[in-house]
Structure 1
Amino acid sequence: MKIIKFFVYSILFAALIVGGVLFGARFADGPLEIIAGGPFRSGELVTGPEPDWSFVRDLETVEFQLERPPRSRTTWIVEHEGRIYIPSGYMTTAWGKIWKQWPLEAERDGSSILRVGDQLYQRQLIRRKTGPEVAAVVALIAEKYNIPATPEAVASDYLWLFEMAPR
């Protein structure tokens, strides 16, 4: 009986710690790796002409923040023909439907901020389901991240693709 009580208390303690980390992350300056964080408080807003986004080819991840609700995340990014895109996979799975709320929020209001290093870029997330760029962007995602991404995954809603367009 003592062993069962020990395990129950251990599980409750672990759940309390995880819950505390998840709650506390909402007040952080950006995400904590895979844990969504609070709104950006640091970084310099870049204004002026659209940058040459080719530098993101060498980056594994970037951070972005939705403005409504003001939460930030870490994500993958690819560049194609001067435009940048971020994916969200597992959207038709039970895990994706529970864990991934940001794509639904972005589809309602795509106002966002991209943070690369200490630079902030105001962007508008636009979901891309079809178009000539979809196959090329998905191929870049598959190559860069060594995953089996396909245009069919986008067509079936398993993989959501967002362009990070200028505002």
Structure 2
Amino acid sequence: MKSFIKILGGFVILVISGVALAFIGARFADGPIEILAGGPFRTGELQPGPEPDWSFLADRPTVEFQLEEPARSRTTFVIVHAGRLFIPSGYMTTWWGRIWKHWPYDAESNPNALLRVDGKLYERTLRRIESGSDVAPVLAELGRKYGGGDPVPQDALDSGYLWLFELAPRR
């Protein structure tokens, strides 16, 4: 029995160490590693000029973005509405959201970000959207794309459970 407990304890320590190393190592990567926040972008070509036609992202599941401060990158859902880009952040009122979701608060402090799509970098400003004529269609598209077709209820936004940001061009 003592051998089993030692083996189990060693296995648990090994798993915890492996997870910790993955989280720490991801911070040094060029961008996020799936759901793990990554380091700042080191590759990609900055795209100056006019705003692109974002319709090619309408059915793309995720994009990568990096906040200016702190300089960490993430993978996130992306919503295209009326030629503009939006990203959601859910779970904001849950205990795991408080542990996992720091970037929305960081974005409110410093909204400057980079979006990376297909090796191209776009300077963006994250603007939180809490009301207005864009909310209902963005929630409907969020539901279509990620929620099995049902629109995300307005209450998710009103309660603070869901935050929406527009990835507006940086001026």
CA distance in 2, matches of 1:143, 1:165: 22
1:44 aligns with 2:45: yes
2-structure distance, mates of 1:140, 1:150: 12
Q: Which runs of 4+ in 1 moved over 6 A?
A: none
Superposed displacement of residue 14, structure 1: 0.9
Cross-structure match for 1:150? 153
RMSD: 0.9
Within-5 A mapping of 1:14-25: 14-25=15-26
Q: Which moved more, 1:119-128 or 1:148-157?
A: 148-157
Q: TM-score by structure 1 length?
A: 0.97
Alignment of 1:1-167 (within 5 A): 1-147=2-148, 149-167=152-170
Q: Deviations over 1:69-126 (max 9, x none)?
A: 0000000101111111000111111111111111111111111000001110000001
Partner secondary structure for residue 158 of structure 1? coil
**Percent of residue pairs identical:** 54
**Distance in structure 2 (CA, Å) of the matches to 1:56 and 1:124:** 18
The one-letter code of the counterpart of 1:157 is G
Where structure 1 has 5 or more consecutive residues not aligned to the other structure, the ranges are none
Report how many residues are paired: 167
Deviation at 1:146, TM superposition (A): 2.2
User: Matched residues in 1 for 2:153 and 2:69: separation?
Assistant: 30
Aligned equivalents of 1:119, 1:151: Cα separation in 2: 33
Letter in 1 for 2:132: G
Cα distance in structure 2, aligned partners of 1:74 and 1:142:
18
Q: 2-side partners of 1:37 and 1:2: how far apart?
A: 39
Measure how far apart 1:58 and its partner are.
2.3
Distance 1:60 1:131 in 2: 25
Contact 2:59 2:145 in 1 (8 A): no
Quote the Cα distance in structure 1 between the aligned partners of 2:43 and 2:108.
Answer: 26
Unaligned runs of 5+ in 2: none
